[in-house]
Homo-oligomer: A and B are copies of this chain.
Amino acid sequence: MTQTTLSPGSSPGIAVDALTRVAVSTVIFTLRRHRGADRATLALPLVRRTRDPHEGLWALPGGWLDDAEEMDAAASRTLAETTGLAPSYLEQLYAFGAVDRSPTRVVSIVYWALLRADEASTGLASPIEEPRENVAWFDAATLPRLAFDHNDIVEYALWRLRNKVGYSRIAHGLLADEFTLAELREVYESILDRRLDPANFRRQVENSGTLIPTDGFRTGNHRPARLYRYNREVELADLGPLADRASSSRKRRP
């Protein structure tokens, strides 16, 4: 056995048995406030399957990877086609490829994404196009049984989100351009599912150097709260050596 050369390259001639069905799916979170409730929750859009494997069950938005299509572009495209949404943050989550996760073998490159509060309404129930059939928002914490291994996938995406919110600034991916510290804190509290001390939270985030105070204030029921912007000179998330590729795809926005 000395075929030491079948490496990652493509050698025309090996062909058939190396061909695999490759799909791209996206777990896309946004934040939903509930009047009355003391905590906002994470929600994600799902698509109801209308075909054979797991027909009728809800599944992550996604589709097949086109031949000459970048993978993150495929994630954006299939997400737009199925839900009309365009995320503010998109990152590869994991490649799921267990042979028994679908009747015939499918490798799914799964992305996870964040949708800013002001973007969440677009598409899905936009005033222009009528709300889509077979698409609906679900609370991330209380999902029904999903198609394929999609419950596991969402679980993993939630775990990744909770982890990453600790050491990077992705929380901003869920907020509009300007926000109060209370709103930012609400994001953290939702993701981590626990209360944070307002005083300590303020200092920590102020000292991180990622916030720029504006002149504006959010006026409401009580003392007005200063509005902040996100300092774009600091990277949103630490992607390591992959940052170039990822951020270039992130800059593309509708």
Query: Which A residues lie at the B interface, using CB under 8 A?
Result: 1, 3-12, 14, 17-23, 25, 47-54, 59-71, 78, 81-82, 92, 94-95, 97-99, 102-109, 132, 134-135, 147-148, 150, 152, 155-156, 159-160, 163, 240-242, 245
This chain: copies in complex: 2
**B163 touching A49, Cβ below 8 Å:** no
**A10 touching B60, Cβ below 8 Å:** no
**B50 touching A9, Cβ below 8 Å:** no
Question: Shortest beta-carbon distance, A98 to chain B, in Å?
Answer: 6
Please name the residue on chain B nearest to A14 by beta carbon. Answer: B64
**B18 touching A21, Cβ below 8 Å:** yes
Question: Shortest beta-carbon distance, A110 to chain B, in Å?
Answer: 8
Given contacts A7-B23, A160-B240, A163-B240, 7 further A-B contacts (CB under 8 A): A7-B49, A8-B62, A8-B147, A20-B21, A22-B22, A92-B95, A156-B242
**B21 touching A103, Cβ below 8 Å:** no
A-B CB proximity, top 9 nearest? A18-B64, A159-B240, A9-B53, A95-B95, A20-B22, A6-B63, A10-B104, A19-B19, A71-B97
Question: Shortest beta-carbon distance, A68 to chain B, in Å?
Answer: 5
Question: Shortest beta-carbon distance, A241 to chain B, in Å?
Answer: 4
Question: Shortest beta-carbon distance, A243 to chain B, in Å?
Answer: 10
Q: Which residues of chain B are within 8 angstroms of A53 by Cβ–Cβ distance?
A: 9-11
**A9 touching B97, Cβ below 8 Å:** no
**B60 touching A7, Cβ below 8 Å:** yes
